[in-house]
């Protein structure tokens, strides 16, 4: 009976997350470990990214900062969530991560507390994001994308049907009403990410 009740509770939580209309009721912890609700960003276009400092995609920090500098005053916010789940490529404290990112790439967008994006301890934010936007597939014309596709297919031939986060620097695009409108895998061209941002900001690109 307890097992049945527990299963029903999990189903109810999952259904509630999917049924939620926007991200604004979700709380996250900022860089000072202070809990804040995402409604603080209401009216902004958001790009949510799980990041790592020792990854082949880490240089994307430079492109993300450029995107931020270009569109911050037009309504864009980039929310950076360091995550150590993929190859343990985000080691160290948040303070160490922040020092590296500011010193190496000059980032000025907010970094939040380290989180998990998959599994039992995953952030509620990522439970919601994945429910709204499934895995979009790696760009197989990209060398790293082809490698990752081969690696995941060896583990599970149907891995593409699983909405879980596959690697560092997966990006979710959220409109100014808090709706999750797109997902970009780490191999996606940043020009496509920029085009998505511009569309939501109603800017010509």
pLDDT digits (tens, 9 = 90+) for 40-97: 999 999 999 999 999 999 999 999 999 999 999 999 999 999 999 999 999 999 999 9
Residue 55 appears among annotated catalytic residues: yes
How many angstroms separate the CA atoms of 38 and 22, rounded? 10
Spell out the domains of the chain, with CATH numbers in brackets.
22-201 (3.40.30.10)
Question: What pLDDT does residue 9 have?
Answer: 41
Q: What is the distance between the alpha carbons of residues 148 and 137, in angstroms, rounded to a whole number? A: 10
Given 55, 83, 101, 198, which residue is catalytic?
Answer: 55
Question: For residue 2, is pLDDT > 50?
Answer: no
Alpha-carbon span 106 to 100, nearest angstrom:
9
Q: From start to end of the chain, where are the E strands?
A: 27-29, 35-37, 45-51, 76-82, 171-174, 180-184
Report if pTM > 0.85: yes
Determine the average pLDDT of the residues in 160-167. 96
Q: Is residue 6 predicted with pLDDT exceeding 80?
A: no
Residue pLDDT, tens place only, 55-71: 999 999 999 999 999 99
pLDDT attached to residue 13: 42
Confidence grade of residue 20 (pLDDT, cut at 50, 70, 90) = low
Q: Share the mean pLDDT of the chain.
A: 90
Give the pLDDT score at 11. Answer: 42
Q: Above 70 in pLDDT, residue 116? A: yes
């Amino acid at each position: 009976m307890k097992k049945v009740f527990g299963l029903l509770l999990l189903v109810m939580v999952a259904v509630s997350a999917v049924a939620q209309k926007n991200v604004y009721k979700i709380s996250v912890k900022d860089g000072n470990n202070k809990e804040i609700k995402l409604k603080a960003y209401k009216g902004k276009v958001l790009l949510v990214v799980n990041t790592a400092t020792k990854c082949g995609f880490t240089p994307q920090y430079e492109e993300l900062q450029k995107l931020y500098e270009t569109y911050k005053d037009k309504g864009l916010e980039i929310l950076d969530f360091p995550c150590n789940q993929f190859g343990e490529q985000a080691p160290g404290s948040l303070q160490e991560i922040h020092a590296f990112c500011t010193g190496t790439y000059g980032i000025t967008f907010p970094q939040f507390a380290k989180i998990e994006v998959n599994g039992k301890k995953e952030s509620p934010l990522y439970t919601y994001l994945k429910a709204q936007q499934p895995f979009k597939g790696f760009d197989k014309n990209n060398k790293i994308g082809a490698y990752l596709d081969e690696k995941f297919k060896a583990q599970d031939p149907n891995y593409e049907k699983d909405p879980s986060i596959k690697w560092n620097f997966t990006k979710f695009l959220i409109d100014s009403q808090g709706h999750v409108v797109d997902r970009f895998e780490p191999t996606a061209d940043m020009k496509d990410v920029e085009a998505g941002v511009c569309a939501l900001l109603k800017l010509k690109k």
